[in-house]
Amino acid sequence: MPLLEVTNLVKHFSRRRGLLAPPSVVRAVDDVSFTVDEGEMFGLVGESGSGKTTTGRCILRLIEPTSGQIRFKGEDVLSFSRSRLRLARRDMQIVFQDPFSSLNPRMRVGSIVEEPLIIHRTGNTAERKARVAELFELVGLDPTQLKRYPHQFSGGQRQRIGLARALSLNPSFIVADEPVSALDVSVQAQVVNLMMDLQARLRLTYLFIAHDLRLVRHICRRVAVMYLGKIVEMGETEAIFAAPAHPYTRALLSAIPVPDPAASKQRVVLDPSSFQREAPLRQIGTGHVAAV
């Protein structure tokens, strides 16, 4: 049984255009379905505005979806009461993209990591302090720096703090929303290695939201490609990279800058008339579907 099952997820944002004009509707997530297996790092890729972040937040109910179904460990997340949802959130956490704005600049980093434990009334003061120190070690930070403020850390270290906070309640599932895209290249590799290491050690499952396809190819076994609120292609990462079926996926893959000056620069330009937006996903190969 998959750990997470998302079925026909829809999120519409309505936007007022004026006092009398009818509100316009943005279909940010438009009938998205996928499953994530336990212990998997599942990639969700797409450009800004494709709905990948909204999808991630709907799963945690940080945004209430318009319709659809989300089953986590077999339970219907959308039917959870407030108190049941709070309990569920121990098990599903999020790491944000921007390590600068996602940490409160006025709080010491030790308190930032401890805060989820206080909110969920876990342990006494001494137990919490010990847990925070343990988490710091787990993510490769020096526990003697607990009293410092976020600005005293580099971007990579801050993202480790964000990871420590997400891990504080022992979750089994983490939505990682572009966790390394704000980091320098040499530091990205450190944080990605840490995430893979933690995945193995703590049996974590990730929904890895990204736009860096080179990285996704390296770390995700399966991937879904989103375009304008819909999944246009999904399957084994290697199968998709070897033979992208959807015109958008082809354009996306060809746009990746190749770190080899001798590589041929064959660019595929997306022609929106080359595919039907409403086309259903159909089987292309083993474990490989595309909306063509």
Partner 1 sequence: MSEVRSSRDPLSGVRDPLGSGLAEPVSLGSRIPDPGSRLLSVEHLTTGFDLKGRFVAAVIDVSFHVAAGETLCLVGESGSGKSLTALSIMGLVQPPGRIEGGRVVFKGRELRELPEREMQKIRGAEISLIFQEPMTALNPVFTIGSQIEETLLVHGRATRRTARQKAIDLLDAVSVPEPHQRVRDYPHQLSGGLRQRALIAMSLACDPSLVIADEPTTALDVTIQAEILDLLRSLQKKMGLALLLITHDLGVVAEMADRVAVMYAGRIVEEAPVTEIFSAPAHPYTQGLLASIPGGAPGTKLQAIQGTVPPLGELPPGCSFTPRCPRRFEPCPKAHPGTTLIGTPTSDPGVRQAQAGPSPSRGGPGIPDPGRVHAVKCYLYSDAVDPDIRDARTS
Partnered with residue 285 across adjacent β-strands are 288
Element spanning 127, H or E: helix 125-138
By C-beta, is 82 or 151 nearer to partner 1?
Answer: 151
Instruction: For partner 1, give the closer residue by CB, 22 or 257.
Output: 257
Q: Which helix (H) or strand (E) holds 93?
A: strand 92-95
Which residues are at the interface with partner 1 (CB under 8 A)?
A: 47-48, 154-157, 184-190, 192-193, 196, 211-215, 217-219, 221, 237-238, 247, 250-252, 254-263, 265-271, 274
Torsional sign, CA 267, 270, 276, 280 = positive
CB of 191 to partner 1, least distance (A): 9
Rounded to 5°, angle at Cα 28 from 25 and 34: 140
Looking at the Cβ atoms of 170 and 193, the one nearer to partner 1 is 193
CB of 192 to partner 1, least distance (A): 6
Closest to partner 1 by CB, 19 vs 263, is 263
The C-alpha angle 180, 181, 185, rounded to 5 degrees, equals 75
Minimum CB–partner distance for residue 188 and partner 1 (Å): 7
Give least dist CB 273 to partner 1, A.
10
For residue 146, the 8-state DSSP code is: T
Residue 278 CB, nearest approach to partner 1 (Å): 19
Encoding tokens for residue 276? 């039907």
- Rank residues 80 and 275 by Cβ distance to partner 1 and give the closer one: 275
Rounded Cα distance between 169 and 118, Å, is: 10
